[in-house]
Structure 1
Amino acid sequence: MAVASMTCVQLGLAVAVLLFDRMGPEGAGWVRLVWAGVIFVLIARPRPWRLARCSLLACIALGVVTAGVTLQFMFAVERLPLGTASALEFLGPLGVAVARSKNRSALLWPLLAAVGVLLLTEPWHGRVDAVGVAFALGAAVCWALYILLTQWVGDAVSGLEGLAISMPVAAVTATIVVGNIAIPRMSVENVLFGLALAVLLPVIPFALELSALRRLTTAAFGTLMSLEPAIALLLGLIVLSQVPGWWPVVGVLFVVAAGFGAERTGARDEGPPDPEVTAGETQFVVP
């Protein structure tokens, strides 16, 4: 599920880059979040008033973080190759993997992935756009928080209701931040393109990630995300004609090895706590 999610994410991002001339990075990010919010509300029909206060706050925080990672990454790929931006963004999941690993042997996979990220970004060339790097690192911070909050929400709220609350929050957050730029760029065609993009990213990937994080530890999921720069590198080549050098190709081998290692050792030790509805509120244990 996690690998399928990452493929949808990177394909959606590659297509979004192709639409920058039509709506800019602000529009590409905003219209996807708005449509995703609408779709999840129609599918799940959330009832936020039934949740415990801490559950509702977690869903709201997840929405704000989702807007942050979406918009910042759009700004990053406007300035950087897709593979490079994804590699830098991966530092967030990598940080989660290192922080949450419970034994020394598990640290091998994040370290292996870190080498792959270094080879993918090739910092020794000194040609990377500093502003693009800053946006990608900002997205990395948001992505780390997204992983933690998604597992929390997935354990606390049944089904897709957590996403049906968080995604409208993400849409509102994006509207506050970039709505004045994005909305004037929306033609009928752009709105329809945005609907197709929203299904590809984030509707399908986020639903898959929520299910994956119910089965994996955050450390394992964070390391498994090391496959994402490799997928981005491949789709950047196929869709955007961004031809990588030899070092990025070697980096792909490192991140793929780390990803498979995480998949083999990453099952959660205990099942997630079952949400219990008492007096109209969802009760849960914070993971």
Structure 2
Amino acid sequence: MVSVNVGAAFAKGLFPLVGSAGVTALRVGLAALLLLAFWRPWRRLPGRADALNLLVYGLMLGCMNLTIYAAFARIPIGVAIAIEVTGPLALVLLSSRRPRDVAWVGCAAVGLWLLSPLYGGASSSALDPVGVAWALGAAFCWAMYIVFGKRVSTLEGGHAVAWGMLVASLCAVPVGVAQAGTALFAPSVLAAGLAVAVLSSILPYSLEMGALARLPRRVFGILVSAGPAIGALAGYFVLGERLSGVQWVAIALIIAATAGSAATAGRN
């Protein structure tokens, strides 16, 4: 969680050079090259059904990166991540009718309301509504990423991630090149993009696999729920982003909802 959020903060620092889509192209494109070189998934090609699911999985992965980085460009990182994690929480409500699950989603809804212009507070009115919309788009993409990621999780090793990242790069790289142009290929920018790819993709994915192998799923889910807070701290220390008291309360409510839903999740 520290790696992926510090990587996000570092990536935001590159936005003035190549834009949010340019940084996304670097992160996803370089990560795809590294994953393909490591896993070499072409040695066992997926079947037709798996290929279709991989296509949607990769598209959602690419769109999720494009939309969350677009949100980072307009609103604080911690706020954007807090909005983004409501996508997986929505899956909880759709897959369960237990009162406690509805209560967790309600807790997250209160947090979202505190961040929205509907609340009417000074902190919410200061948020760029376009940035909030991008974060909500990232939430939808994350939910779909989980749905289709589950369908391709039976593929051997990291082949699903490698193929998915390749599709994501085919989605994100043209958008980044269109926004940044030749600036994207400057040696200093490529080096910084490689650092972002390692911090935000390669390293956290590897650590997540090790954590999932050693921790119960609900414990893993509770730990991951701290993402918005870690993102807010990374934004503060790396970029100097300051959040209001109301925004911190909203983030705390969304974290509580995410951790609570993970802690009380059934085995299925």
Structure-1-length-normalised TM-score? 0.80
Shift in Å, 1:166:
0.8
- In structure 1, list runs of 5 or more residues that go unmatched: 270-287
Q: Which of 38, 49, 63 does residue 68 from structure 1 map onto?
A: 63
Which range is displaced more, 57-66 or 87-96? Answer: 87-96
Residue pair 1:160, 1:207 contacting (<8 A) in 2 also: no
Q: Which of 48, 53, 73 does residue 48 from structure 2 map onto?
A: 53
Q: Are residues 1:124 and 2:128 paired?
A: no
Residue pair 1:150, 1:210 contacting (<8 A) in 2 also: no
- % identical equivalent positions: 32
Aligned length: 260
Residue 28 of structure 1: aligned partner: 23
Shift in Å, 1:210:
6.6
CA distance in 2, matches of 1:58, 1:206: 20
Residue pair 1:84, 1:229 contacting (<8 A) in 2 also: yes
CA distance in 1, matches of 2:102, 2:38: 39
Residue 281 of structure 1: aligned partner: none
Which range is displaced more, 57-66 or 230-239? Answer: 230-239
Residue 257 of structure 1: aligned partner: 256
CA distance in 1, matches of 2:86, 2:255: 15
Q: Which of 9, 13, 21 does residue 18 from structure 1 map onto?
A: 13
Alpha carbons of structure 1 residues 235 and 207: separation in structure 2 relative to 1, 3 Å: same
Residue pair 1:85, 1:133 contacting (<8 A) in 2 also: yes
Coordinate RMSD, CA, aligned: 2.7
Alpha carbons of structure 1 residues 129 and 32: separation in structure 2 relative to 1, 3 Å: same
Alpha carbons of structure 1 residues 209 and 55: separation in structure 2 relative to 1, 3 Å: farther
CA distance in 1, matches of 2:192, 2:232: 24
Matches for 1:1-287 after TM superposition, within 5 Å? 4=1, 7-47=2-42, 50-101=45-96, 103-120=98-115, 123-125=119-121, 126-154=125-153, 156-186=154-184, 187-207=186-206, 212=212, 216=217, 226-266=225-265, 268-269=267-268
